[in-house]
Chains A and B, each alone.
Chain A
Amino acid sequence: MRPFGYQRAASTRAAVEAVGAGDGAVFLGGGTNLVDLMRLGVATPHTLVDVTRIAPATIEETAGGGLLVGGGVRNGELAAHPLVRRRYPVLSQAVLAGASGQIRNMATVGGNLLQRTRCSYFQDVTKPCNKRQPGSGCPAREGDHRNLAIIGHSESCVATQPSDMAVALAALGATVHVEGPGGPRAVPMPGLHRLPGDQPQRDTVLGPGDLITAVELPPLPLAARSRYRKVRDRASFSFAVVSVAAALEVAGGVVRDCRIALGAVAHVPWRAETAEAALRGAEATEAEFTRAAELELAGARPLPGNAYKVPLARNLLVRVLTDLAEAP
């Protein structure tokens, strides 16, 4: 591991300035992903600026009935919070579907959103990877891509975004509050993450020194009937193969409104806007759910080794929506 400096930020402003200077300093939250990447030589920061003492770590109700979740809130606390569980079960379920109890107790909300891809090539510094080393190439297209993207990928990158929590936040349309060198600003989800295009080294729209201070959950009554379902190779402690976050409001057998996002299919948590539009006003039946899922996945361009993800995502989407429609 390359030698590095460590400092505790005294204030948000000081942290933003320290990292915004662009001389190789990065924010340190729970460190559950960053420290691993440092050990692997994938991340080689000059200085870690620890923000865990200054990042807001509270969950507060907002005026309209939403929640403001501090960027320093630990994942475990978020999942366990009574208001989160009652108003946004999809979010609590998504967080609990990830990692292990120990990791969730360390990981922060801000850090969770900035997890880097688990693509094997990205994690191995002896191999090319456009995300790690722009221009070096992407061996995954010809090599192992069983669990990589089927939608929105580019010639230069087929990585997926690994956070479960981000999928729920994308479905809920959360707002990410950022403090940056230019002052505070708000980034709407799913707009935080970006498709790889020809700049796969950029996972998000954030720039140097941009610190996630909070995530705001909008008032969303239909989210009380929401669900996260994660398909994975083993029963626990593994990243999603495909996941679905969905909220559904049905009245008189008709879909009044819905929010849907897919995980582990793209470089971003994939908000299924096509499916949502197809469902609003449609009958809440398995046939309609299937039609909407197929419309959403019509744009999928799977690689030879991950074509199974298309029927898997379709089946999962139909099942989650059907279960939500049938739930008492």
Chain B
Amino acid sequence: MTVTGARVTGSALDRVDGPEKVTGRARYAYEHRPRDVAYAVPVQAAIARGEVVDVDVDAVLQWPGVIAAMWHGNAPRLAPSAAAELAVLQSRQVAYRGQYVAVVVAETYEQACEAARLLRVQYEERPHDVALRVDHPGMYRPDHVNPDYPTDSSLGDPEAALASAAVVVDATYATPAEHHNPMEPHAAVAVWEEGGLTVHDSTQGASGLRATIAPLFGMPPDRVRIVSPYVGGGFGSKGKAHPHVVLAALAAKQVGRPVKLAVTRQQMFAVTGYRTPTVQRVRLGADGDGRLVAITHEAFEQTSTISEFAEQTTVATRMMYAAPHRHTSHRLVRLDVPTPTWMRAPGEAPGMFALESAMDELAVACGVDPVELRVRNDPERDPESGLPFSSRNLVACLREGARRFGWHERDPRPGIRRRGRVLVGTGVASSTYPAYRVASRASARAEPDGRFTVRIAAADIGTGARTVLTQLAADALAVPPERVRVEVGDSALPKASTAGGSMGTASWGTAVVRACEALMDELARHGGAVPPPGLSAEADTAQEVRGQRKLARHAYGAQFAEVGVDVDTGEVRVLRLLGVFAAGRILNPKTARSQFIGGMTMGMSMALLEESVLDREFGDYLNHDLAQYHLATCADVRDIEAAWVEEDDPDLNPMGSKGIGEIGIVGTAAAIASAVHHATGVRVRDLPIRLDKLVG
């Protein structure tokens, strides 16, 4: 293991791309305007299940500016191996409302919009089934859950332990479908040149997208280039290839011109993924002092009929707390709905809402302080695998958070604190997220002018990755950060993992540090001087990552919330939110704080506001814009703070870091729900906690 110099890493370096972004020089996907570009506007299915019978292409071709209209009946064929989700216009089948059934290409965006609006699509509609319910006859046990966890887990005899436990909590929780809604909606600009394809896309993973797209068009990956230097947020919705990229490339191929395609905010609600709704039953058995003897957690979720996404909702429960008897499971049903996908902390975010809410209910049932209850059940080793933790500082987070928050003054009785017409309460919940790391490659180059260029097909989706990688490289090269330029967001750069699973910094950072170390070795071989053409070195961390010790690696945190609930109206406002995290070494306190409080703000939204409302009659998500799908506004975020405890963990990566992009959203909703209970005495077990659940 190598500890990099600590001169820049760990400092609050400003975002290196900040000036480009705030002055508008940073070009996002849709801002690329190749010569002779045409505009594609997709047409979405107006039925949830059935078949496209015919599309009246000829009629719209008469419209001014229209170049082409494509549907299954006239679209070029993709490779037959194409996954159904991406096999755009390859079938007449409609698997969900809003699925792409046609595309119109025109000289201007407005012409394409109008032609798409007028395009007549004839359907043969069949009855659809879109409602998730626990007793659905189609519930099945998926082979594994995302990304490759066992579907179920069992230890001991939880049923017997629950039957004889002194205290039992048995509660069912529900979380709704939620949509990511990044600030920058998805967009793709596809250009075919010399038989190769270049796509300017808004993606979390250029290398991964290239590997997916190339075979669809029967090409080797090196004929496809994905360019995405700037991405305006993703939250998982830009992690996998979505059908609009294929549609843009298909349209560009067909018309023989570059094609721009923007997914509108409204369209996003059907075609770029979402968080599955869940129903979760949690049972906790404990002795009178709150020591757990049994934990069970069963999750019920949905996927589409054309692709399986099985969210790992109960996986965090497998290692959060000690208990000799345990069981977790996931069941899935295929519905006529769009395919869910990763959304910030898939698994942990909905799963920990249920587990941590149940822990609060247990604290109340046992008369034990909720902080103390969690401390009491902190395991020495991963309770299911038996593996040691690389580091686990949940208790330190709980203690430090309690101190900062003033938790010791808390009277546990619900419904007794009033400030004017507002009932006030506080709540706490644990946070966690795995510290993943995967293989990546990077190159480092010493330029003759004394500057350095580091290249890696990483993605900075607003996290500050470009900045942190610059810090890591500067220290590894022992130069100030101004002399280092980090290039990311291009599949032509050394292959890197997708920005997901909070593993970007760990995975890319390892590759960047190793490439820089290799370059330093090269430089040393050249007597410290850079030869005229410059000097390069590369690194591939596959072997290093494969060889790491088998340990349970997770980040932890504790979130504390204070809420006010209006006695007359039931309106809930979060008065204070504090998160304390133990996530290894914090490499840049400024960008880290943004990640933590950004996650917590999204957690607050999840707790109080976010819900994609399913329309059973039509089978789509009804509230498909930002006026109807509510996210927290600045006025909702009053007092929010993130802090962290020192954590020295040598078993992670050269930086000693754990991922911090997702942990902030984990536990927030449970802390807020528990605070609402403390304020009002009402336990809301289905999110979001809106006033209609409290007014009376």
- A residues near B (Cβ < 8 Å) are 1-3, 40-41, 118, 120-121, 123-124, 126-127, 139, 142-144, 146, 231-239, 241, 308, 311-312, 315-316, 318-319
Contact = CB atoms under 8 A, between A and B. Distances in A.
A33 to B, nearest CB: 11
B622 A233 contact: no
Interface in B168-199: none
A218 B633 CA distance: 36
18 contacts: A1-B114, A2-B114, A2-B117, A120-B628, A121-B622, A123-B625, A139-B618, A143-B616, A143-B622, A144-B623, A231-B571, A233-B608, A234-B633, A235-B635, A236-B634, A308-B695, A316-B569, A319-B569
Interface of B: 46, 110, 113-114, 117, 266, 421, 568-571, 573, 608-609, 613, 615-618, 622-625, 627-628, 630, 632-636, 690-692, 695-696
Given A118-B627, A233-B691, A234-B608, A316 B615 contact: no
B686 to A, nearest CB: 14
Most buried by B among A3, A235, A236, A318: A235
A236 B638 CA distance: 12
Contacts of A41: 117
Nearest to B264: A39
If over half of B's interface residues share one DSSP class (helix, strand or loop), that class is named, otherwise mixed; here it is: loop
Contacts of A316: 568-569
Contact of A233 (B266, B618, B625, B630): B630
Given A231-B691, A238-B630, A312-B691, A144 B569 contact: no
Contacts of B691: 231, 233, 241, 308, 312
B570 A312 contact: yes
Contacts of A232: 571
B127 to A, nearest CB: 16
Contact of B690 (A143, A144, A233, A236): A233
A3 B114 contact: yes
A235 B633 contact: yes
Given A120-B615, A120-B628, A144-B623, 12 more contacts: A1-B113, A2-B117, A120-B613, A121-B622, A143-B617, A144-B613, A233-B690, A234-B609, A236-B635, A239-B627, A311-B696, A315-B569
B10 to A, nearest CB: 36
Nearest to A126: B46
A136 B422 CA distance: 45
B110 A1 contact: yes
A237 B636 CA distance: 10
Contacts of B613: 120, 144, 146
Contacts of B695: 308, 311-312, 315
B49 to A, nearest CB: 15
A41 B630 CA distance: 23
A2 B64 CA distance: 12
Nearest to B696: A311
B615 A139 contact: yes
A233 B573 CA distance: 10
Nearest to B47: A126
A121 B617 CA distance: 12
A107 to B, nearest CB: 14
B439 to A, nearest CB: 42
B43 to A, nearest CB: 11
Contact of A127 (B113, B569, B618, B635): B618
A311 B266 CA distance: 33
When A and B form their complex, which 8 residue pairs have the shortest distance between CB atoms, in order from nearest?
A236-B635, A235-B635, A308-B692, A315-B568, A319-B568, A235-B636, A120-B622, A236-B633
Contact of B568 (A142, A236, A318): A318
A2 B112 CA distance: 10
Contacts of B622: 120-121, 124, 143-144
A118 B628 contact: yes
Nearest to B97: A126
B569 A312 contact: yes
A47 to B, nearest CB: 16
B113 A233 contact: no
A120 B421 CA distance: 33
Contacts of A118: 627-628
A126 B617 CA distance: 12
Nearest to A312: B695
B630 A234 contact: yes
Contact of B617 (A3, A142, A233): A142
Nearest to B636: A235
A123 B571 CA distance: 27
A211 B625 CA distance: 30
A238 B632 CA distance: 11
Contacts of B421: 319
B573 A235 contact: yes
B136 to A, nearest CB: 21
Given A120-B622, A316-B569, A234 B632 contact: yes
A167 B104 CA distance: 44
A237 B630 CA distance: 9
A236 B632 CA distance: 9
Nearest to B609: A234
Contacts of A143: 615-618, 622
Contacts of B117: 2, 41
B120 to A, nearest CB: 13
B692 A3 contact: no
Most buried by A among B568, B615, B624: B568
Contacts of B636: 234-236
A298 B108 CA distance: 55
Contacts of B609: 233-234
B634 A139 contact: no
A87 B58 CA distance: 62
Contacts of A318: 568
Contacts of B114: 1-3
Nearest to A231: B569
A189 B633 CA distance: 33
Contacts of A146: 613, 692
Contacts of A231: 569, 571, 691
A237 B633 contact: yes
B640 to A, nearest CB: 14
B167 to A, nearest CB: 33
A139 B696 contact: no
Contacts of B615: 120, 139, 143-144
A239 B609 CA distance: 14
A271 to B, nearest CB: 21
B177 to A, nearest CB: 13
A233 B46 CA distance: 30
Contacts of B635: 234-237
B609 to A, nearest CB: 6
Nearest to B625: A123
A3 B628 CA distance: 27
A231 B635 CA distance: 14
Nearest to B63: A3
A138 to B, nearest CB: 11
A313 B261 CA distance: 46
Contacts of B113: 1
Contacts of A120: 613, 615, 622-623, 628
A126 B46 CA distance: 6
A123 B623 CA distance: 10
Contacts of A319: 421, 568-569
Nearest to B118: A2
A121 B613 CA distance: 12
Nearest to A120: B622
A234 B608 CA distance: 8
Contacts of B625: 123
Nearest to B628: A120
A121 B615 CA distance: 10
Given A2-B117, A234-B636, A139 B617 contact: yes
B638 to A, nearest CB: 8
A232 B608 CA distance: 12
Most buried by B among A2, A233, A312, A315: A233
Nearest to A236: B635
A142 B617 CA distance: 8
